[in-house]
Amino acid sequence: MNNSVAKEKIVSLRKKRSLEDMRFKYYGFTAMCLSLAVLVFLLYTIFSKGYTAFQKTIVLLEVDYNQEVLKLTPDSSDEEMEKGKFFRVKKQAIENFFPDLSKSDIKLIKKLFSINVDNEIKDYFLENPEVINTKQQIWVTAHSDVDQLLKGNSRRDVPEDRRKLNDIQLSYVDQLVEENRVKQVFNNFFFTKADSRHPEIAGVAGSFMGSLFTLFTVFILSFPIAIGASVYLEEFAPKNRITELIEVNISNLAAVPSIVFGLLGLGVLLNVFGLPRSTPLVGGSVLALMTLPTIIIACRASLKAVPPSIKEGALAVGATKTQAVFHHVVPLALPGTLTGTIIGLAQALGETAPLIMIGMIAFIPNIPTGLTEPSAALPVQIYLWVESAERGFQEKSAAAIMVILIFLFMMNAIAVFLRNRFERKW
């Protein structure tokens, strides 16, 4: 071949190669931008739908704590006060909410208030017992329908029969707004209350605690077992057919659909062992089974990543195998195992299907205080709220998604922190 022709060929090939390089770089960049855009869109949707849930609407109500109506005296004991007739005080306050109300209008106005108002009136009184026989201006929670209307989530220009609030109620709400007797404040209920049939007093505290207890169970069960199993498989087990079979099956188990584990929990934990239904104990056990393979795989990977020379060094000075493993290999693998465990826990946190199978989908209006109390979990709570017909639950589900995302984000941040903090170089 002619020398100059060959050179030309090389140059043109080089150009082609560098073009290829460039093109591939842009493909990658586009793919990344696309996924980023989808993520941003997702977060924007969740946030824009959900941020209103962090606010609630309250209404100014004049309450007359008349001792006759309450059937109390200023000398009443605390126990007697608990039993005061606060619903009568509330009824009176609503009847006098606007001057000269007709009976039918009172009925309509009653529906502008949350069911929780009785409790709020009572709580105010129990905190300030000296207000007996005085009139007090109290901010009480408005009904979800009012809340949604004022937040602009439900529209007022649809025909009356398709609205939650009729024309008369609307006009009263407008009057309240005009008189500044209604305002929006931070919704503490969302973070302090459990689930409720009434959107305005439904919160994530119950399901959050439920998820926390469940994750605690998962951690307690899966971490020691996973460490034990992976250390044995990696360092002690003889390499033969049986261990090979176990290894393959661990990988297979990691891919088993989670609902199968739910069925296992239902069939074995609930029906055979008779553990209490809908509890974090059972939910955690099922999720521990589900995450175990993931954690074992992560643990084994981090054990494998410890250079064998470290173990050899320990053995060469006369350490036993157990000493070499537990003095040197396991501590070095610990950041990796912890990270793997947290990733596994994060997976467990988002799992819904197995929890539905073992009954954690039940409506639980209390905040659980232990592992054996019925409770909800965050993802199931979201599922329940998304399913609900009331408009008020829509923003709640978006807000609950935010809570679970922040929870996840924090867990991952801890994993990253641990990895960076304890990572050693050799």
Give residues in contact with other proteins (CB under 8 A): 238-239, 307-320, 323, 327-328, 332, 424-426
276 closest CA partner among 194, 362, 197: 362
The CA–CA distances, whole Å, from 3 to 10, 73, 286 equal 11, 114, 72
**Residue among 198 and 327 whose Cβ is closer to other proteins:** 327
**Residue among 163 and 328 whose Cβ is closer to other proteins:** 328
**Residue among 286 and 306 whose Cβ is closer to other proteins:** 306
The least distance separating other proteins from the CB of residue 339, rounded to whole angstroms, comes to 18
**Residue among 54 and 422 whose Cβ is closer to other proteins:** 422
**Residue among 237 and 259 whose Cβ is closer to other proteins:** 237
Q: Are 371 and 211 in contact (CB under 8 A)?
A: no
Reported for 91-100, long-range contacts at CB under 8 A and 24+ positions apart, including other chains, are 92/64, 92/66, 93/61, 93/62, 93/63, 93/64, 93/121, 94/61, 96/62, 96/64, 97/61, 97/62, 98/172, 98/175
**Residue among 139 and 422 whose Cβ is closer to other proteins:** 422
417 closest CA partner among 342, 364, 325, 315: 342
Tell me the sheet residues that pair with 61.
138
The least distance separating other proteins from the CB of residue 316, rounded to whole angstroms, comes to 4
The least distance separating other proteins from the CB of residue 249, rounded to whole angstroms, comes to 21
DSSP code of 197?
Answer: S
The least distance separating other proteins from the CB of residue 329, rounded to whole angstroms, comes to 11
The least distance separating other proteins from the CB of residue 423, rounded to whole angstroms, comes to 10
The least distance separating other proteins from the CB of residue 314, rounded to whole angstroms, comes to 7
Helices then strands (H, E): number in the chain? Answer: 19, 3
Residue type, 284: G
